[in-house]
Structure 1
Amino acid sequence: MGNDTSGLSKLTDTVESMISGVPSPLRKNFFKALSQLSTAAINIPTTWLEGKSAEIKASYEARVQIIKRQGDNIAENIETPKEYITKASEKYASKVIKEQLNLDQIALNAANNLISEGEKNKEDTTEEISDDWLNEFENYGRLKSSDDMKLIFGKLLSGEISKPGTFSIRTIRLISQLDNDAAKLFQRLCSLSISMHLGGKIISDARVVSFQGSAASNSLSKYGLSFDNLNILQEYGLIITDYNSYMPYPLCVIYENNRIAASIVFGNKHYGLLPTDNDKYDKELKLSGVTLTKAATELLPIIPLEEVPEYKSDLETFFENKFLKLQLIK
């Protein structure tokens, strides 16, 4: 229990340290989320939450009294040993505390994300994080006990605080439904994916390129995405049903004076495609392969990626055969 108290203390300290550095529009969303999700919000010493502390405490104490009265009523109206009722009450209380600790840790992770990305969060916005979104997030987040999932949910929360509408409710539900095997497959899918970015945003496409033949014929099996594995990803709504769809990528070709309309993002790095022969390079550049769904594309930037050197090497060779070179850009 000492570690749990320490974690809550760290969360409160982190929240307090953020107050002066967070732009006011972002701070409003941050406090709104925290006041719903985290016990640390009860003690935040800020004028924004003046009056909220007593309200939250009163609400909490009222819920405790209601639960106590319900327990007393059950004890009075059913013939059950008192020891059994006491044990059941303790088990229920333990479950509630565990779920709240999960939310507190997720809130701490989100706070740390906002601190580390402070310079990226200067953009002024009047959008308010949705109550419906927070309700769904709370319902699923409280059940996440693994460190990996709490990190991902922390990124979901900080992303939505920074820019409401970044992650749909459907996306929250989808990531919550993944079992361990599906989660590992999704991590591999994201690790192999390229995406087209324009102005820092993914535009309409994220995919794993199939270099030879169709992915439906196991062309990606040596990278861990066999036909059977793709079917699992498709059943979870992470990839579209056509395993050999294509998208033109000529916007990612570097033209004269190092101009580029869009970048290719692979492994969280931005690249352009530099022609090695201006006459011979593939002008249409249709890239075929496995396409991520909208929900999977939303999640792509926050999933921890693995390094798959063999795939990167094959990707570079694939472009070289089209007289294009993957050029790292800032």
Structure 2
Amino acid sequence: MTIKNAQARSSLALLIEEKLGYAMTKQVKPVSTNSRYSHTTSQNNFSIQSPHGTLKRALKRSQLQRIQRQQNIESIMGMSLTLCPDVTSRGRPDPDWLEHFITLAEDIANQTMQKLWAKILVGESIAPGTFSIKSLQTLKLMTQREAEALQKCASLCGYLEKEDSYLIILGYYKKPSILDLLRKGSTETMNLSQAGLSFPQILTLMDINLMYRQEIESASLQKGQSLTLVYQNKRINFEAKSNDLVLSYYKLTQTGDELKKLINTPVNKAYKQLLSKTLEEEFNLVWE
């Protein structure tokens, strides 16, 4: 056995002891050669050597689990007090919501994820109704890969105030004029992977219902009309240079909107450059 293998087994044994409350030791079994039911592979060679019966061991494991859950929820609530700004609250969270929150959050042991749950509690304490139970359930089941996809997505999202939602501008097209119906009109689309958000990550966000599956189009913009988005603390106006311009974008779902609020990241620099390069021919981009 190599040193690396030995370290892995030692680490695994320690993990098992922490969760079970008892160490597992290797059994010495006599080799059976005549039994028709004997197996030569996939045998369990380890067991717990303890004077305590199975029931008492189960009770101890349950106690350890309850202790860990209590430590988790105390950590999250402590973080929430640290993160909470000195602002006026609009009321108390709904009691049923709070019970769901505790039930879902008490199994969160990762400190990074605990901080997200703490932010949720802060947000709900300031403005009850900010986070739905569905969003809590989605966050609870989210894998590391899915969380990374949301993180990448967040830095590309602009906030549309009039709809209270987040979206990612993809490009635009110009409707053909009546005098030129045979032409499709000019179209420009960005490759979001150049800004760090790959197509598989987009599909992941769609699969977990954080992003709508279909691209969405804005209303037709005439010359001088604009669409305004907010990227963290900066506003950008997309002002049309000519008539019949339509912006295309991906839009987050209600659950996506709620979870996006947990992630405060500045606008992605590569995406900002892509926006300017892709839209500059037909739009004036004004940052405020």
The TM-score range, normalised by the shorter chain, is 0.5 to 0.7
Is 1:325–2:278 an aligned residue pair? no
Q: What number of residue pairs does the alignment pair up?
A: 222
CA 1:149–1:306 in 2, change beyond 3 Å: closer, same or farther?
A: farther
Task: Quote the residue 1:265 is aligned against.
Answer: 230
Cα distance change, pair 249–179 in 1 and its aligned pair in 2 (3 A):
farther
Kindly provide the amino acid, as one letter, of the partner of residue 108 in structure 1. Answer: G
How far is the alpha carbon of 1:146 from its aligned partner? 1.0
Deviation, 1:319, is 4.3
* Conservation of the 8 A alpha-carbon contact between 1:189 and 1:225: yes
Q: Which amino acid aligns with 2:171?
A: F
Q: Distance in 2 between matches of 1:176 and 1:147?
A: 14
CA contact (8 A) 2:160 2:166 kept: yes
Structure-1 separation of matches of 2:247 and 2:283: 14
C-alpha deviation, 1:101, in angstroms: 1.0
Q: State the alpha-carbon separation in 1 of the partners of residues 149 and 220 from structure 2.
A: 26
1:196 aligned onto 2:178: no
Give matches, 1:81-96, under 5 Å.
82-96=52-66
What's the secondary structure of 1:157's corresponding residue? Answer: helix
Aligned to 1:131: 95
- Alignment partners' CA distance in 2, 1:206 and 1:285: 21
Counterparts of 1:1-330 in structure 2, within 5 Å, are 82-114=52-84, 117-118=85-86, 121-122=87-88, 125=90, 127-198=91-162, 203-211=163-171, 219-242=191-214, 244-248=215-219, 263-266=228-231, 268-273=232-237, 281=241, 286-305=246-265, 308-328=268-288
Structure whose residues are more often helix by fraction: 1
Letter in 2 for 1:137: F
Distance change (3 Å), C-alpha of 1:207 and 1:264: same
AA matched with 1:292: L
Note closer, same or farther for the CA distance 1:283–1:135 as it changes in structure 2 (3 Å cut).
farther
User: Which sections of structure 1, spanning at least 5 residues, go unmatched?
Assistant: 1-79, 256-261
Alignment partners' CA distance in 2, 1:194 and 1:128: 30
CA distance 1:304–1:195, change in 2 (3 Å): closer
- Structure having the larger proportion of residues in strand: 2
The answer (yes or no) to whether the contact 2:172–2:248 under 8 Å persists in 1 is: no
Q: Identity rate of aligned residues, in percent?
A: 21
DSSP 3-state at the match of 1:265: strand
* Cα RMSD for the two superposed structures: 3.0
CA distance in 1, matches of 2:220, 2:92: 35
Alignment partners' CA distance in 1, 2:213 and 2:203: 9
Task: Provide the secondary structure at the position in 2 that maps to 1:82.
Answer: coil
Note if contact 1:129-1:160 (Cα within 8 Å) is conserved in structure 2: yes
Judge conservation of contact 2:190–2:274 (CA < 8 Å) in 1: no
Task: Give SS of 1:122's match.
Answer: coil
- Alpha carbons 2:170, 2:190 under 8 Å: kept: no
Deviation per residue, 1:181-220 (Å, 9 max, x gap) = 011011111111111125xxxx24311111379xxx9932
Q: Structure 2-normalised TM-score?
A: 0.67
Deviating more after overlay: 303-312 vs 100-109: 303-312
